Each structure stands twice: as C-alpha cells, then as structure tokens.
Structure 1
Amino acid sequence: NERFKNNLTLNERRYHIMFSGAFHNIKMPLFFAEIAKKLALEIPDLKVLILGNGKLKKDFLNKLDHYEINYDYPGYVKQESLPGYYALAKLFLFPTKLDAWGLVANEALASGTPVITTPHAGIINDLLIDGKNGFILPADIDLWCSKILRLLNKEDQWNQFSQNAVESVKSFNFDDAADGIISACEYATRKAS
C-alpha cells in the first residue's frame, strides 16, 4: 500500500478516467469506450489513460480513435510502474462481467483513486463500499456517466471518496491476510478436536 501513496489533488491529476486490465470481453473494455464517448460530450478536454493488453486491443483502441477520445496508451505496464500511473487518474473504472477479486481496484484505492465497478467484482462490499470510496453500478452507460460527472464536479465529495479509498485498503495487506489465514486454521483445528 505504501508504494501507492499519492498526495495529488483532484485538479492535479492528469486523467479523468482510467482503465487497467485485460482487453477481453469479461473486462468490458468496449463498454469503457462507450462511457468515454458519452463523457467527451460533457467534458470537451477529457483525458483517458489505458493500461493493459489482450485480444480486444485493436477493437478497443480503434473504437477510442473513432470516437476521437484523447487517450494515452503506454501498453502493458510492469507491476513496479503501476503506482505512478494510478496517481495520475481522477477515477478508476473497473467494469467487469465476473472477477473473483480485482487487484487493480486495491491498487487504485491505495492511490486515493475512487473506483467505479459492477456488482460482478469480488471487491464489492468488502473493499469497495458503494457511496463511500466508489460506486457499484449495473452496466448502464448513462448511470456510470452520471456518477462519474458527479464526482468530477464535486471536489469535496471526490476528496472524501479519495480519503476513504486510502483508509479502506489499509487492512488489505499481506500481514493482515496472513493473520486471517492463521486465525482460520487455528479455528478449524479447534473445531476438529
């Protein structure tokens, strides 16, 4: 978590929205492109950051180009370089049809970047709390854009979400995870005897 520490304010962050992940149908990159298209109508200077790779790369990037979205695509980024990228985004969009957890959300939240995801991400209600450090929304472009614009236009609310994001990941670290596993094993051992 410490590697992701970030003190940039909303207005100091270069990118309005960010996508990081595999470019596969299950991760919904084309849905992200549709959101960017709609947001660009409301935010003429919209800047988008795209990280990742996958079989939909050509379709995804072509769609962004077709919609004339201003985006940067450094490609697949190594783990040690990710904190610098998350620090530049105002919001992390994590659309997914199914994800057991979604470590990218941990990384974004640790950077103080609020997350918007679907109800199909494993992080919901454990790490991501709707209306506290992000939003949990069905795959509805209008609804996503409404929530995105709300956070981008209300700096005080974004600041609160950002602070909550950093706080929310503090207990999601290797030490606490190991303690949880040990406690579960001790509990199982006691129950068995």
Structure 2
Amino acid sequence: MKTFLDPRTKAVAGLCTNAVRDLFGKGVREVRAHRTVSSVTSVACAAIIGASIMGAAPVVKPAVNETLAAAPAGVENEQVLLRGSTSGSYFWDDGSGRLGDTGQPAIGKPMQQGLFASPSWPLGTEGYVFYNGRRAKFFIGDRGPGTPSNDGVMLDIDGKTFADLVGASWNSDTLTVGSSQGHIPVEYVVTKWGDGPGKRGTPVPFSSGAWSSS
C-alpha cells in the first residue's frame, strides 16, 4: 500500500534525511559530540512523520538532556554542569610568604598542580580548562582572585598548570612563569560541584561574599 504524505510532512522528512546525511558525514569525534542531538533528531522525526501518517497532530517532547551543554573534546564521558569562558591569572600559595603568598590553600590541602582558586565556586568543585588547544584538569582548593575578579578574572590557576598551558617554564624559586603572559583567556567546564562553602553557577566577584555561602 502506498502512503501519501501531506506537504508539511514531506518537508519535515526532507529535513530529517538531510540531518542524518550530515551526521554521517562528520568525523568520529564530531559524532560523539552530537550524540545527544542526533538522538533527539531521530526521535523527533519519527514522531512527526508517524503522527502525520495517522492523521494526528505531531507532539514531540524535548529529551531530558537536550538543554545540557555539549561536552568538548576530551570530556565526552563526563557530565557538563556548567560551561563558559573567563580570564585566568596564576598563583602559588605554599605558605612560604614569597611573591604575595597568602598562606596555605583554604581547602586544607597542600599547594599542588591542579589546585585552582575561585572567587565564588564551592571548594572541591572539579572540572577542566582549555587554552590554545591544551587542556588541564582542576579542583577548586582556594579563594581568589580578589580585586581582579571585579574586572572579570574569575580563575586563579596554579603556576605549574599555567606554565603548561602557555608552553613556558615554571620557576619554583621565584614562583613565576617564564612568560610575559600574566592573564590568559580560558574556556572552563565544571563536571562536579564541591560540597564546601561557595556558590554554584556562573562565577561572581570575590567582593560579593559568595565564597562564604553554605
């Protein structure tokens, strides 16, 4: 039996066909990144065409994960809770009092590579930063930047990680990075919120006092 589709359904079917062709024309990495989108597209197309054939008005409910930010390359297997961009500075507070050192990190762990400071995120929050094709994992273990956060510098990156991101050396004697770059634009992804004091969501300046929220 031949099935006849109305013009609107034919148009939708054409869009669905193009979407599938476009998906399979992408590389493996892109397919993974579009996995949620392709699933939603397939379900939506089947629902719309099926409803039209049966003579009913198409009703498509959005998938649960449809509103979640897509994970960037290298984070596909982890849940993305927040994604954005900001400026990042660097620090190294080991309690030695050198170069503006303000003491041991607030989280109670020794200063180490991967320990970042945030003016507002809960202590223990985890995620990744990306810069110039490089990626680094972090956890929030201290507070800062202070005043610079009023100007949009919302992450203080440990000096060793900062040096790796910009492709420079780290001087453990002077606690400085062998580069003229003191701030860099980074993309961040939060994959786990910490249970320490602080505020979830888009970072806000230190002066807001959000860092002390419980």
Name the TM-score, length of structure 1 as normaliser.
0.25
Name the TM-score, length of structure 2 as normaliser.
0.23
Q: Which of structures 1 and 2 has the bigger CA Rg?
A: 2
Higher strand share: 2
Higher helix share: 1
